[in-house]
Structure formats: structure tokens, C-alpha cells
Structure 1
Amino acid sequence: MDTPSAYYQPPPSRWPIVGSLALLALASGFVLFLAKSNAGPYLMAAGGLLLIAMLAGWFGAVIRESLAGKLEGQVDGSFRWGMVWFIFSEVMFFAGFFGALFYARVISVPELADAQLLWPGYAGGWPTAGPGIKEAFTPMPGSGIPAVNTLILLSSGVTVTWAHWGLQSGRRWQIILGLALTILLGATFLGLQAHEYMEAAFSIRTGIYGATFFMLTGFHGLHVTLGAIMLSVILGRVLAGHFSADSHFGFEAAAWYWHFVDVVWLMLFVFVYWL
């Protein structure tokens, strides 16, 4: 069963139950935190540490299996399809928020203005800030930080592709430099987005515009953070000599995810900032 064409079946693992306990501790700690219990933050911290240990242990086991040549052939194909469906689920996740933005802006706000169901004199302008604000306020402009961040993420897509070319060509220095530049660009993007949040004249409570703006950009920032962590792990594996030109799906999966993050940002820039 260890031949490359066979489907490898891993041995029983303790990591799923460890992950379940970690999530239970995180959720329970959050509930206690909302209840203003002193034990809440400590339980959340314990759950977070346990979750990190689970991720390191579980992914470490998968990496060792890969280095042993057990994850080739049909298993490799399963991994690729798994990543495809994972990214598709993320596409649907963001589609829900883009759909909410479209519905609010194009359908809900005009209909509420026509029916005068909210408050007298509601004009239905966009963006709307919620009760008491009759006129539209100035939204976040597309120029400035959003435009710079667009250039940064597009550049990061180039650097991660350049790193992939280096891996396929056996140029180790190119892989390392390309990944390092991609991670640095991602960190710069997050820093600029944090600055944008601090300078914003509205919050997530500022009506439907504030809610959709911060939900879309905030979750995208979370995905950039996750992508940067994935690429950092891949960089560490490159330094350890784990990949070859013929076997590097871990690298490809992280690169796919990063390109997905780039595409989502382009849609955000057009529909949230520009339009």
C-alpha cells in the first residue's frame, strides 16, 4: 500500500480530538468573557495555545508523510481537488457579502426610500449611515491607500509567481527571495489597511454601508493574514529543502490561495471603493 499509485491511509491520529477540545475551550472562554467572567480570557488563551499546538502537530505529521513519499499519485490528486473546493467555498463566502452589498445598494435602499418606511424625509442616498442621517456622507475614496494597496497586492501576485518559476527551474535563491518579498508585501498591505481603519470617519455601526465595508475589507484582511502565514510556512519548508521541481503541491496550494486573495481585493476595490 506504500506504492505511489496506491491511496495512502494514515494511521489513527490524536489531533482531531485535540482540535475539538481547543475549539471547545475557545468558544467556552468567549462565552465566559461575554458574561464578564474572569476565567473567560484565560480559557480562551488556553484554547488558542492548544489550537496552535494542534495545527503544528497535525501539519507536521502530514509534512513528514509527504517527505516519506506517501502522498503521491491519487492522494496528490485528492489534495488538489480538496484545495479547489476549499477556495470555491471561500468564493461563496465572499459572494454572500457582495450579494448583501448589491441588495442593500441597488434594491433595499431605493425601495425603502420610495415607501418611506424608515423615517420622514429619508432620501435613500448611498452610502447611507442609518437612522438620523438623511443625506449621504462621503464614503472611503478609491484613491490614496486603497489604490496603493491594489498595486501592492498585484505586485505580490507577481512575486509569488516568480518564486514558483524559480522552484520549477531549481533556482533556490529566487524561491526564497520571491516568497520573502510576497510576505513583506502582504504585511505592508495589512499595515496600510490598519492605518486606513484608524483614519476612517465611520465605523461598522454606521448603517449598512459601514457594516458591509468593514465586513468585506475586514474578512479580506483576515484572509491576507492567513495567506501570509501559509507562505511563511512554505518559506520555512523551502529553507529546509522540502520541495523539488516535480513535487511541491504545498507551494502551489499556498500560491493558489494568494492569487484568490488578489482577485477578491480587485473586486473589493471596484465595488466597494471605486463605485
Structure 2
Amino acid sequence: MSKVFHMYHMVNMSPWPFLMGFAVLSSVLGLVKMFTSASIFSFMWSMMCVCYIFFLWEKDVVRESTFQGFHCSRVVSGLIFGMILFIISEVFFFLSFFWAFFHSSLNPVVDLGACWPPNGLSPLNPFGVPLLNTVVLLASGVSITFCHQSIINEDWKSANLSLGITWGLGLYFLGLQYFEYKMAGFSISDSVFGSVFFMSTGFHGFHVMVGTGFLIVMFYRTVKKHFSMSHHFGFECAAWYWHFVDVVWLFLFSVVYWWGS
């Protein structure tokens, strides 16, 4: 029987999707246990498993795309479509938080004092740490765009430098957000204002954390010269995701921090 040649990549059997799902479930259960019994061991162990499985899974994908050459143009077009759908789903995820914020702020109920922010709550100054975080993310957007141009021009020294600056700014943003949470005069249990504030900004911080990890992986691949001027879709995915994180933060700063206060 003759072989059938096609333009698609038939992925081999892999244990990583099942193991990743189990590790994520364990991390959620560990998070619940941390909230109820103040025991952080289960959560930290589960997160270590998540990171290790992610590393092994990413290693397989890098091998398939870079060294085995399975990611041809037809496969890349499918990956582009999948990444676009993923970002659209993330847009609607954050849209739910903005919907909840506007629903509560435009027509505040009597229980909140019929005003927004509710009586007794002191919102954060939008022109303090939030404004600094805005500058940090905008600067990171510029640096990752410069990195993309450097890859296209095959200027690997500039690409490594600008990409290192990008994920460094991501870590700096997370540090500033942690400082902001420590200085906040309200908590997630302080009415719908605290709930929506910490859920929206907290999930954005989680996305920054994931995006920073994504960029660190791309930084390693750039140093190892896995990319070329015509084949660097992994980096493009990271750049699209990072720009999405930037745009979401601009809406959060404008609506939740500035207008909402």
C-alpha cells in the first residue's frame, strides 16, 4: 500500500493534555484548601506540577516545529486561526467583568448608598501606581514590537535585548501590582466594588504572569536561534497575547481606576 502525503501535521499520542488537566484541577482544589485552612502546600505543589508539565509539553512542540519541520504553511495557518479564536474568547472573558462593573456603577442600589464608589470605600488614586503600571505596559508593547522588527531584519542582538526588556517590564508590573494590593484600603469582600476590582485586575495580573512566562520561553528560543525572518510564529503568538494584555489594561485603567473612582 502506498503512503498518502498531505499538508497536515498528525500529532502523536501525548500524555501532556491529560496530565495538565489533572494538574490544573489539583491546583484549583489546592487553592480552595488554601482559602479554607490556610495551607499553601497543596497549591504550591500543584503549581510546580503545572509548570513542569508545561515545560515538557512546550519542549515537544518546539521539537516538532523547529527540528522536525512539521509546522508547514498549512499548519501555521491553522495555528493562526486557533490563536485568533483564543484571543476572542479572552476578550469576552474580560467583557463579563466590565459588564458587571457598569451594571453596578451606572445604577447603584440603595444597599451601596445609591452612589459609586459605595459609602465607606476609598478607591485607589489612578494617577499613582496604576498610571505607572500603564506606562510600564505601554513601554513593553513598544519593546516587543521593536523585537519583532529585529527578528524580521535578523538583528538577533537587538531582538534578544528588546525581548529581555519586555519580560523584565512584565515582572516589574507584577511587583507594582502586588505593592498596590498591599496598599489598598479595601478587600475583595467589600461590596461589589471590591469584588469586581480584584477579580478584573487580579485576572489581568494572572494574564500578565502567563504572558511573561510565554515571553521568557520565546527569549530562550531567540537566544538559541530557533527563529528565522520567515518562520517565527511562536514569537508572534506571544506578541499578539502581550498586545491583548496591554489593551485590556488600558480599558481597566480608564474604566475601573479612573472613571470608576
Give the TM-score, by structure 1 length.
Answer: 0.86
Residue 28 to residue 272, structure 1, CA distance change in 2 (3 Å): closer
Residue of structure 2 aligned with 1:177, choices 135, 155, 161: 161
Following superposition, the deviation at residue 197 of structure 1 comes to 1.2
Matched-pair contact (CA < 8 Å) for 1:166–1:174:
yes
Could you tell me which residue of structure 1 aligns to residue 20 of structure 2? 19
Following superposition, the deviation at residue 106 of structure 1 comes to 1.0
Question: Which sections of structure 1, spanning at least 5 residues, go unmatched?
Answer: 129-134
Following superposition, the deviation at residue 136 of structure 1 comes to 5.6
Residue 189 to residue 29, structure 1, CA distance change in 2 (3 Å): closer
Counterpart check, 1:127 vs 2:117: yes
Following superposition, the deviation at residue 175 of structure 1 comes to 0.5
Counterpart check, 1:147 vs 2:131: yes
Tell me which moved more, 11-20 or 211-220: 11-20
Q: Distance in 2 between matches of 1:41 and 1:2?
A: 52
- CA deviations over 1:39-85 (Å, ceiling 9, x no partner): x7555444333322221111111110101211112110111111111
Q: Distance in 2 between matches of 1:158 and 1:232?
A: 17
Q: Distance in 2 between matches of 1:87 and 1:22?
A: 23
Residue 221 to residue 27, structure 1, CA distance change in 2 (3 Å): closer
Matched-pair contact (CA < 8 Å) for 1:127–1:139:
yes
Question: Which sections of structure 2, spanning at least 5 residues, go unmatched?
Answer: none
Tell me which moved more, 11-20 or 202-211: 11-20
By relative contact order (CA 8 Å, sep 6+), the higher-ranking structure is 2
Residue of structure 1 aligned with 2:242, choices 238, 247, 258: 258
Following superposition, the deviation at residue 20 of structure 1 comes to 3.3
Q: How many residues align?
A: 256
Give the TM-score, by structure 2 length.
Answer: 0.90
Following superposition, the deviation at residue 21 of structure 1 comes to 3.2
| Amino acid corresponding to residue 81 of structure 2 in structure 1 | W
Could you tell me which residue of structure 1 aligns to residue 181 of structure 2? 197
Residue of structure 1 aligned with 2:142, choices 153, 158, 181: 158
Aligned residues with identical type, % of pairs: 39
Tell me which moved more, 25-34 or 149-158: 25-34
Q: Distance in 2 between matches of 1:92 and 1:163?
A: 29
Q: Distance in 1 between matches of 2:216 and 2:12?
A: 28
Could you tell me which residue of structure 2 aligns to residue 96 of structure 1? 96
Matched-pair contact (CA < 8 Å) for 2:171–2:212:
yes
Q: CA RMSD in A?
A: 2.2
Looking at CA atoms only, which structure, 1 or 2, has the larger radius of gyration?
Answer: 1
